[in-house]
Amino acid sequence: MKNFLFRLYLAWMKFRARFTTMENNNIVILNGSGRSGSNGYAFYKWLLLNHPEYNTTLVEPWPSSHLKWEVWQKIGAARYVITTHQPFKVRKHQINVQLWHGVPLKRMGIMANNTRHRDNKRNEKLWHKTADVVASSSDLYETLMSACMAIETKKYHKLGFPRLDLLHSPVISKAQLLKDLFNTEDEKAQIGIYMPTFRYELEDKTIMEKIKEGNFFAFQDFNGKKLNEELKKRHQYLIVKLHPYEMRLFANFKSQYSNIAFLNNDYLFDHNYDLYELLGDTDFLMTDFSSIYFDYLHLNKPIVFVTNFLQQYERTRGLLMGPYSEITPGISVNSEQELIANLDHLDNQQLANRRLYWLHLTSQVKGDSYCENVFKFMTQEYRG
């Protein structure tokens, strides 16, 4: 019922917004990705700096039923509507540029095990009717996205993803990140970041209970104090960036550990950072089934894959490629014991070669700036 009412609300606001006057130099970015690797936010910051002649508006969170009418007027007045999730525009002559939010690894849409046929058909029609430009990184990306969303090949354009521009130019130094999150100085520091995917959809209450108790890995053998000591011995520091829903389960964001820190959205919003503006300062990534690992390949740094819920994910939602061991260029760990046993040798030449192989498969776009690629294409191809 709530979904129906929200769709009704969107339809009504779209109808009203159509009567505003559209201007060719108006750009609206509907950011549904927060600050955890947002193509929309990265593109917004780039536009403000490089093209002040355009009136650029950032709308977040999106979608929302709490937007002021003035915001809807700006959406209606935009020539270009940039989206990070579902395509959207309020009038036929607007140009929707779809940046999406990552190379998909988990199944979505018609490929997923946990979606409804009616919803999938609605989404397929939405992409067909609304998306004008779908930014792409590779042939593989287009194949995966079309398998899930039935997107026509003519909509794809190999422009790259704006957030990748942020990886190689961190906004603060590694020393400052260490000071901000761990309140320490350490010239030998290796900073890792753990970013799991959304585990709530596994519909397993025991997982959420473990996370609520502070077991952010949801390992059976989790011992936070022991893990912290092992990290400390090696001058390693672990940033934990959970899904916002999971972060809300914690009673206290402040870590009781010296070498483990929780990164919440408040830090990012307070400093006007996107997470990708900090990733370049890290030395290794830990994840499970998140597509962030495809982006992290651009840094050519070690990746550790946490597999304790692999079978549940394959059963509940499914993965687009497999076997998992063949598509993940890094060490796999299934427990804290395995993680600690691998802390001294996170990388080797074989893993580095596999990372390069997957980078070539997922990134075929040339150019010094993906933001510039997107801007030039949309403004030159659709001059108005």
Can you tell me the distance from the alpha carbon of 296 to that of 162, in angstroms, rounded to the nearest whole number? 14
**CA proximity to 191, closest of 288, 285, 255, 256:** 285
Q: Which helix (H) or strand (E) holds 306?
A: strand 303-306
CB atoms within 10 A of CB 130: 17
What is the predicted pLDDT for the residue at 200? 60
What is the predicted pLDDT for the residue at 312? 80
Q: Which helix (H) or strand (E) holds 115?
A: none
Can you tell me the distance from the alpha carbon of 178 to that of 260, in angstroms, rounded to the nearest whole number? 11
Could you give the residue ranges of the DSSP H alpha helices within 18-68? 39-50
What is the predicted pLDDT for the residue at 197? 82
Can you tell me the distance from the alpha carbon of 287 to that of 157, in angstroms, rounded to the nearest whole number? 29
Residue type, 376: K
- Does residue 165 contact residue 370 with C-beta atoms inside 8 Å? yes
Decide the pairing of beta strands 23-30 and 55-59.
parallel
What is the predicted pLDDT for the residue at 202? 58
End-to-end CA distance of the chain: 39
Can you tell me the distance from the alpha carbon of 29 to that of 378, in angstroms, rounded to the nearest whole number? 14
- The CATH number of the domain holding residue 123 is 3.40.50.11820
Is 196 found in the same domain as 59?
no
Is 190 found in the same domain as 83?
no
Kindly state whether residue 2 falls inside one of the protein's structural domains: no
Can you tell me the distance from the alpha carbon of 58 to that of 67, in angstroms, rounded to the nearest whole number? 12
Report the number of distinct structural domains present in the chain: 2
What is the predicted pLDDT for the residue at 382? 78
Is 248 found in the same domain as 170?
yes
327-342 per-residue burial string, b: 16 or more CB within 10 A, e: under 16:
bbbbbebbbbebbbee
The pair of three-digit structure tokens given for residue 253, joined into one six-digit string = 């964001």
Is 150 found in the same domain as 215?
no
This model's pTM is above 0.85:
yes
Can you tell me the distance from the alpha carbon of 317 to that of 47, in angstroms, rounded to the nearest whole number? 37
What is the predicted pLDDT for the residue at 94? 96
Which domain does 202 fall in, by range? 166-362
CB atoms within 10 A of CB 368: 8
**CA proximity to 218, closest of 202, 235, 238:** 202
Kindly state whether residue 272 falls inside one of the protein's structural domains: yes
Kindly state whether residue 96 falls inside one of the protein's structural domains: yes
Can you tell me the distance from the alpha carbon of 96 to that of 269, in angstroms, rounded to the nearest whole number? 26
Kindly state whether residue 46 falls inside one of the protein's structural domains: yes
Is 107 found in the same domain as 87?
yes
* One pLDDT digit (tens) per residue for the chain, 384 residues: 567 888 888 888 888 989 898 999 999 999 998 888 999 999 999 999 999 999 999 999 998 888 999 999 999 999 999 999 999 999 999 999 999 998 999 899 999 888 899 999 999 999 999 999 999 999 999 999 999 999 999 999 999 999 999 999 999 999 999 999 999 999 999 999 999 887 666 567 787 788 888 888 989 999 999 999 999 999 999 999 987 667 766 655 567 899 999 988 888 999 999 999 999 999 999 998 888 999 999 999 999 999 988 888 788 888 999 899 999 999 999 999 999 999 999 999 999 999 999 999 999 998 889 999 999 999 998 776
Can you tell me the distance from the alpha carbon of 168 to that of 154, in angstroms, rounded to the nearest whole number? 31
